[in-house]
Chain A
Amino acid sequence: MDRISETLGRFGGVYLLPLILAALAFVLIGAPSSWATLTVAGLAMGMMVFLMASGLSLIFGLMDVLNFGHSAFVSFGAFVAASVLAALSGWLGADNVLLNIAALSLAIIAAMSFGLAAGWFFETVIIRPVYHDHLRQILITMGALIVSEQIILAVWGGTPITVLRPQFLEGAWIIGDVSIEIYRIFAFGLGLAAFIGLYLVLNRTRLGLLVRAGVENREMVEALGFRIDRLFIGVFMVGSALAAVGGAMWAGYETLITPALGGEMMIVVFIVVIIGGLGSIEGTLLGALLVGLTANYVGFLAPKLALASNMILMTAILLWRPNGLRPAVK
């Protein structure tokens, strides 16, 4: 048994889980074409959830702050992007791909800047006074979540809003008898780019070194003379911006959004963070992919179980590893 786990560990250990899951699903589903479609859908969903969850995980890892209001950034991102896209509907409908891309980039940039600004506000005004007090953190961020949801309701109203998609992301590619929605590929690509970017910054730059050192031992980094509080604000803002981008992508994926979106995604994001382990983006990616794939496979194989599938996955993983698959904080 030890030798098996050792061999597995050499090939990637827990990172093999999504592959094992995919292989298992391949056997159970039996039809390669539907398996491929589901896998792509699962990966795309996983990547969007990763965008939303990575910020939460990093913020917790570095600052020991769990932001229950994180999903507010997701909703705000979605609604801001939807508004920008609606305002630029002329560009979206145009046949010109460049105009399409410009409109989409503007929407994502708007969501991102909003996330940065809102993150700064959240950090300095709301969370700063309650560092090191988990109970009050949970309560305060919960209160902030209530207020932000109400602001969304007041500004955008309670009725569902249709999100326009750029022309070039509509439709699907057909390869053989496998059809793949282009938007999913795009979402996957964007999420992957964000992951690679985060990974490189965290592991290859001086800034990332400081962040990782801060996660490991905050006092020591402070004692060496680095202003870790400034680092906090930066990480918080980036995390919020990622959540807003994730929300914007999700809005395009769902194409119909309601103010309840943030609350629904929050549950998924929490499950991902719990599965992956708090504080590491690798763990978050792993958790997000597992959740995305499971949701799609189970939805196809046993629709009745789909609702509970994430919960079952979480319970199983917690029984096996009580701190999640790849925790970075103790």
Chain B
Amino acid sequence: MQSKSTYGTLAVKTAVLVIAALLLFAPFLFQDVRALEVAARICIFIVLVASYDLLIGYTGIVSFAHTMFFGFGAYGAAIALRQMGPGWDAVALGAVAGVVVSLVVATAVGLLSLRVKAIFFAMITLATASVALVLASQLSQFTGGEDGITYRAPDLFKPATKLMVDEDGKVARLFGVKLNGKLAAYYFVFFTSLALFLLMLRVVAAPLGSVLKAIRENEARAEAVGYRVVAYRTFVFCLSAAVASLAGTVYAIWLKYTGPDTTLSFAIMIDILLMVVIGGMGTMWGAVVGAVLMVMAQYYLRDLMGAAAEATANIPLLPDLLAPDRWLFWLGIIFILLVYFFPRGITGTIMQKGARA
């Protein structure tokens, strides 16, 4: 981004820092179960969206298979935890297996289709992802089919685990928050996500990030300068697949449940797409803003829409469109308008403001 030293950039970075701080202290600030659920989901989706942004925003390739890699990681951990029982060895094995499968599939798809037009690649990834989804629901002896798999996370993360004990032998409290396994699980999610996010920030700040942008801006020229475009594209596709797979593993451990609807479904792919575009493509900060807004909307907008639907109950069709289930309808319209008028998304638009010539 040429807009490195704008006031807008400063504003965005401040906002991201505030979000990070809020997430860090989330268990203490918002002391109810649903809020913690939202915070954990935000952490994981920030990583997922940022890894997707590596593809769509930095390199300019559109993939619809991102949830597939997310699913590989989640199912890897889920199957390992189910077969081997709760333990760190199962988590490690599941994570590694997920990443390896993701890398193999990503390399195959990449080498097969990244040579041709961007649009071809989008279609091929869409087809691959749909096959993965169907396989997950059909191979029910491994994946639990449509019902998914439930399993136990490692003992450290059990709500009954006491991290610290007070003099009565009960679980200790800090600022009124029980120091139990749930808290440990949240911080596991938070710090893993943070590490992965920082890794990606490092990647895009490195020379590699500039090469990727060069490929996005002008493929032929990047090739002419001497960068092997296909190799770079395949590499970044593999990298983002691996990160997505790790995010999937973390999510599986947090939820203690893995099914097609939580990891593989096309609805999640659409969520990711919406988050990237709303937040702003081509900056890692956009992923943070987009993920926060979308996840909040998912959890809290529906309540609002339910109220709106009741208020308009007498008008034909409008209550149908305002029903809580129809929230995607409005998001879709917002999405289209954003792509028209603010193709840089929220952060991209703000970061341009106040540019010093």
Hey, which bits of chain A sit against chain B, CB under 8 A? 60, 66, 68, 126, 129-130, 134-136, 138-140, 142-144, 146-147, 149-151, 153-155, 263, 266-267, 270-271, 273-274, 307-308, 310-311, 314-315, 318-319, 322-323
Contacts and interface: CB of A to CB of B under 8 A. Distances in A.
A147 B329 contact: yes
B122 A138 contact: yes
Interface stretch (B14-22, B168-176, B238-246, B317-325): B317-325
Contact of B339 (A136, A147, A315): A136
A239 B117 CA distance: 22
The binding surface of chain B is classed by DSSP as: helix
Contacts of B313: none
B5 interface: no
Interface of B: 56, 60, 62, 112-113, 115-120, 122-124, 126-128, 130-131, 134-135, 138, 266, 270, 273, 277, 317, 320-321, 323, 325-326, 328-329, 331-333, 335-336, 339-340, 343
Contacts, number: 97
B123 A140 contact: no
Contacts of A68: 122
19 contacts: A60-B119, A135-B62, A136-B343, A138-B62, A138-B119, A140-B336, A143-B332, A143-B335, A144-B336, A146-B332, A147-B333, A150-B329, A150-B332, A155-B320, A266-B126, A267-B126, A273-B123, A274-B127, A318-B124
Among the interface residues A135, A153, A314, which one has the most CB atoms of the partner chain B within 10 A? A135
A319 B326 contact: no
B335 A146 contact: yes
Nearest to B118: A134
Contacts of A273: 123
A135 B56 contact: yes
Contacts of A150: 326, 328-329, 332
Nearest to B343: A136
A172 B320 CA distance: 41
A15 to B, nearest CB: 22
A270 B329 contact: no
Nearest to B331: A146
A308 B135 CA distance: 8
A311 B62 CA distance: 19
Contacts of B122: 66, 68, 138
B243 to A, nearest CB: 21
Nearest to A322: B116
Nearest to A65: B119
Nearest to A136: B339
Nearest to B113: A318
